[in-house]
Structure 1
Amino acid sequence: MGSAAAQSLTSEEERIVAIVKGNSPKALELLEKTVNINSGTMNHKGVREVGKVFRAEFDKLGFKTQWIDMPKEMQRAGHLVATREGKQGKRVLMIGHLDTVFEADSPMAKWERQGDRASGQGVNDMKGGDVIIIEALRALKAAGALDNTTISVIFTGDEENAGDPKEISRRDMVDLAKRSDVALAFEATVLDENGKATGTIGRRSSTSWDLAVKGKQGHSSGIFTASAGYGAVYETARILDAFRQQLQEPNLTFNPGMILGGTEVTHSGPSKGTAFGKSNVIANSAIVKGDLRFLTPEQGEQARARMRTIVAQSLPGTSAEITFQDGYPPMAPTAGNLKLLEIYSKASADAGLGPIAALPPGLRGAGDVQFVAPYVDSLDGLGATGKGAHAPGEDLDVRSIEQGAIRTALLLYRLTR
């Protein structure tokens, strides 16, 4: 750390940074231990095992810890919650997750270190982020800066495939948010085109829609006539193309991911189905499964209304219905979120790690922080930096663990003074 950066930190903050650096080897040992435990969402035993490892760390830090089971019918492992209460500064909620996309039958990619890079299952998404949380808190504890603070941590066991109903699987997280002033989430830090770290002040929703279309079955020679109409497939094509032409705007996407059409259509699962039809027969039915993403609740309501209007303008001899299913709510880029990013950016710059710019919301998928964003100022993307998340070659920039822990520790210190 250069002299200019050193002048930007108090002596107490310099001590916190030094503690983080001194603990870096142990931080990587902790990360290696958890990466080598398979914790795919549906591998409940593995998720709980990783939870036990992190729970022991929170216990050492003086947090009150508990494992919250989900109802058996939800088929999810549950969540780890750690809390401490005080009366000083902001009340902070920190969010991570224990599960990965790599299930128990996936080829097990163990931790492998090569210089400044390391690979393994969940190494950056997001066991690296979990370790950053632990190391930031460990440094504050060693510096005596955790005393009298209110900090809650939740590590969910099903972020990669959230259990339904989400009113239950995210209930405990929302309850913690309602008792907090700010929320910090530790999904991987995204680098901009210049290789600089960013922060996430907005994330788009992840919702879905179903389109069901009906037509008159008949001989193909009669299509487009008043008696036969246009058939279900043409009506489906009209609707989808009208979406494309009329709905496009910044931060709004609407993707038809699966389409089935013909005279016999069967939808047999979330991503499966069959269709039968003949080229000389007008199709009588079609279904489409789609995804809808938007940045604010208002944008979402407007998009749904426009989609319903388009669907209602049926071609002759056809009818259609569209229904919507809520998933992850949007995290709107509020003034409060931006202020939180400014504090984080200054802490990073003061530590000699450079300022942090906001990431465009359209560049992130959905995440747990979106369930708490309606209730509290929120900031995401504070985790590790790596490549290939959700892929067999998922890796990590090892240096980002120490850097993330320094930024987080300073942010926590300033929020809780």
Structure 2
Amino acid sequence: MIDPQESTLLEVIEREPILDRTLAWAAINSGTANIAGLEAIADSLADAFAALPGEISLVDPAPVEKVGSDGKARQIEAGRHLVLRVRPNASRRVLLTGHMDTVYSADHPFQTCDWIDAETLHGPGTADMKGGLSLMLSGLQAYERSDPALGYDVMINSDEETGSLSSSALITQLAQHKIAAFTYEPALPSGNMARARPGSGNFAAVIRGRSAHAGRNPQEGRNAIVAAADLAQQLYAARRDGLSVNPARIEGGAANNTVPDLAILHFNMRPRTPEDLAAGQALIDSAVANVTSEHDVAIHLSGSFARPPKPIASATDRLFSLVSQAGADLGETIGWEDTGGVCDGNNIAAHGVPVIDTMGACGGAIHSPDEFMMASSLVGRARLTALVMHRLERHGAGL
């Protein structure tokens, strides 16, 4: 149950400041490619999180390349990532992460918030995850009232929605020597949290054949479109339980009277376990070798399994037990279920850190114009953060 010290800690958490920040941040378009919007939200986040002790920095993104429709890789621009370090010399430290970017571009029609009912806020990024960032801050502010000794880092990146490619090295760095981690992806409308997650890999296979006249000498050509279609078929045919394969798009081609010499196959794979990931990589290598030989083409593969699978270890079970007990003491029953999605929790777990990655607001229909957040969850989830941090400091030595 909640003891008197914990009650004093939690009573300062109020709905209005959390909701006001959520509305203000949701009003700033911060689609992953909207660099100006990302700078604006980063500045606002830095001002807000300055209420916590510690040092805030905005970290430049690592270089990232993307294959264009011409088959050439070009560097893409990314926003800066916010890092706050609190008590960096503490013997026991925690990592809390979130993302400032959304899936809604600067010209997307979904730009404003409105109320579906008194407790359901419809708006871009409200659940995923500006509400989560706001309640994280309120939870940490409350925790700081307890004369705390636990150290922590907060990392809010600008490119989670596109795979955290420019922030993965930063996540790796910050995950080192942490006893636990919390990521503020939205919980389900029921309040349930994500348990195990598969991994995810995004790839682009650039296929170069040989052009020729489609009527006069087609036999001298090497059709890149046909090779790309064969590669897609071979990959898709090898899908199985534990390894999904999604050929998503083929670019390239030429005029109808020309054998096309360029095609680009974009595909995604989702392995459930590390063993499935190894099998997926072997499948890619085999299919690329087969198509290269059978069609006499050259294939250059870009991409990787940037999100490793997130299985559940015993330390993660213990961390969830602490979180679920705290939730129960706050009057909330929290379930735990496997999910098909991926997030920065995958990357953190890959470094052996137990992580609960759906500590954010409850909501749904994310990544769509119907996205909503349940405002009624804001105070409860902020209190959960404060209580879990407090108990992790005092009772979490077994993690």
The alpha-carbon distance between structure 1 residues 307 and 51, as it changes in their structure 2 partners (threshold 3 A), is closer
Equivalent residues in 2 for 1:342-353 (5 A)? 342-353=321-332
2:397 matched residue in structure 1: none
Q: CA deviation at 1:196?
A: 4.6
1:11 matched residue in structure 2: 4
Q: CA deviation at 1:394?
A: 2.1
Given candidates 340, 354, 372, the residue that maps to 2:319 is: 340
8 Å contact kept, 2:307–2:343: no
Separation (CA, whole Å) in 2 of partners of 1:282 and 1:78: 44
Could you list the per-position Cα deviations for residues 374-408 of structure 1 after superposition, in whole angstroms to 9, with x for gaps in the alignment?
A: 22222211111222322233221111212211222
8 Å contact kept, 1:42–1:103: yes
Equivalent residues in 2 for 1:152-191 (5 A)? 152-161=153-162, 166=166, 169-191=167-189
Separation (CA, whole Å) in 1 of partners of 2:285 and 2:15: 54
1:275 matched residue in structure 2: 254
- Number of aligned residue pairs: 379
Secondary structure, aligned partner of 1:301: helix
Equivalent residues in 2 for 1:31-46 (5 A)? 31-46=22-37
Separation (CA, whole Å) in 2 of partners of 1:148 and 1:346: 22
2:238 matched residue in structure 1: 246
The alpha-carbon distance between structure 1 residues 326 and 116, as it changes in their structure 2 partners (threshold 3 A), is same
Separation (CA, whole Å) in 1 of partners of 2:45 and 2:5: 27
Q: CA deviation at 1:152?
A: 0.7
Equivalent residues in 2 for 1:172-211 (5 A)? 172-191=170-189, 195-210=190-205
- Between 282-291 and 98-107, the greater mean CA deviation after superposition: 282-291
Could you list the per-position Cα deviations for residues 250-295 of structure 1 after superposition, in whole angstroms to 9, with x for gaps in the alignment?
A: 2x211111235xxxxxxxxxxxx343345xx987775422112223
Separation (CA, whole Å) in 1 of partners of 2:170 and 2:27: 28
Q: CA deviation at 1:156?
A: 1.1
State the superposition RMSD in angstroms. 3.4
8 Å contact kept, 1:201–1:380: no
Given the two structures, how large is their TM-score scaled by the length of structure 1? Answer: 0.78
Q: CA deviation at 1:80?
A: 1.3
Given candidates 362, 365, 372, the residue that maps to 1:385 is: 362
2:138 is the alignment partner of 1:135: yes
- Between 84-93 and 346-355, the greater mean CA deviation after superposition: 84-93
2:25 is the alignment partner of 1:48: no
Given candidates 118, 123, 127, the residue that maps to 1:120 is: 123
Could you list the per-position Cα deviations for residues 89-112 of structure 1 after superposition, in whole angstroms to 9, with x for gaps in the alignment?
A: 741100011122223333463333
2:247 is the alignment partner of 1:256: yes
1:151 matched residue in structure 2: 152
Separation (CA, whole Å) in 2 of partners of 1:245 and 1:69: 41
Opposite residue 373 of structure 1, the aligned amino acid is: A
- Between 236-245 and 293-302, the greater mean CA deviation after superposition: 236-245
2:67 matched residue in structure 1: none
Could you list the per-position Cα deviations for residues 310-363 of structure 1 after superposition, in whole angstroms to 9, with x for gaps in the alignment?
A: 454469963454735215231421313333222212221222100321333x2x
Secondary structure, aligned partner of 1:124: helix
1:82 matched residue in structure 2: 84
The alpha-carbon distance between structure 1 residues 274 and 385, as it changes in their structure 2 partners (threshold 3 A), is farther
1:303 matched residue in structure 2: 280
- Between 232-241 and 44-53, the greater mean CA deviation after superposition: 232-241
Separation (CA, whole Å) in 1 of partners of 2:107 and 2:227: 42
The alpha-carbon distance between structure 1 residues 24 and 341, as it changes in their structure 2 partners (threshold 3 A), is same
Separation (CA, whole Å) in 2 of partners of 1:29 and 1:101: 22
Opposite residue 389 of structure 1, the aligned amino acid is: I
2:307 is the alignment partner of 1:329: yes
The alpha-carbon distance between structure 1 residues 230 and 348, as it changes in their structure 2 partners (threshold 3 A), is same
8 Å contact kept, 1:308–1:322: no
Separation (CA, whole Å) in 2 of partners of 1:105 and 1:327: 30
Separation (CA, whole Å) in 2 of partners of 1:24 and 1:187: 19
Q: CA deviation at 1:209?
A: 4.3
Opposite residue 6 of structure 2, the aligned amino acid is: E
Unaligned runs of 5+ in 2: 64-74, 395-399
Provide the identity percentage: 24
Secondary structure, aligned partner of 1:121: coil
8 Å contact kept, 2:94–2:151: yes
Separation (CA, whole Å) in 2 of partners of 1:256 and 1:49: 36
Could you list the per-position Cα deviations for residues 64-119 of structure 1 after superposition, in whole angstroms to 9, with x for gaps in the alignment?
A: 21222347975222011111116767411000111222233334633333301112
8 Å contact kept, 1:43–1:104: yes
Separation (CA, whole Å) in 2 of partners of 1:315 and 1:76: 34
Unaligned runs of 5+ in 1: 1-7, 261-272
Separation (CA, whole Å) in 2 of partners of 1:292 and 1:78: 28
1:111 matched residue in structure 2: 113
Opposite residue 152 of structure 1, the aligned amino acid is: D
Opposite residue 276 of structure 1, the aligned amino acid is: A
